[in-house]
Amino acid sequence: MEVWFVWLVRLMFLGLFLMAGGMLFRAWAIAIRKDARYVADWRGRKIGEGNTWATIVLLVNAFCGLGLLGVGISVLLLGLELTTWMSLAAFVLWTYYFVLQLAFQRAKHLSP
């Protein structure tokens, strides 16, 4: 493999842990600190009433954060192949994006 590609893959692998940390931080801030600022989609746009949608956003951030963390740890412990762990990470990230997008659209539709 080309040297630049190996470094790109290493950076993407480290990015898994950074994204997982961000998602788990959001889940922690919503659950423990009761901070409604983090009840937002992936762009940071507020999702409706913070308290109404907090549980859904908390669950999405927790599950997707743990999913990315699980993918990263599986690469280290099980030696997953590049295509496998990138596919799993892409599935988790697209799920995160679409579920939060759905919540944002639903909240916008339900608000007066």
Q: Specify whether the CB–CB gap between 47 and 100 falls below 8 A.
A: yes
Question: pLDDT (tens digit, 9 = 90+) per residue, 15-72?
Answer: 999 999 999 999 999 999 998 888 888 788 888 787 888 999 999 999 999 999 999 9
Q: Which domain holds residue 56?
A: 3-110
Residue 6 has pLDDT above 80, yes or no: yes
Structure tokens at 18: 């950074």
How many structural domains is the chain composed of? 1
Residue 4 has pLDDT above 90, yes or no: no
Q: Specify whether the CB–CB gap between 40 and 57 falls below 8 A.
A: yes
Structure tokens at 110: 């339900």
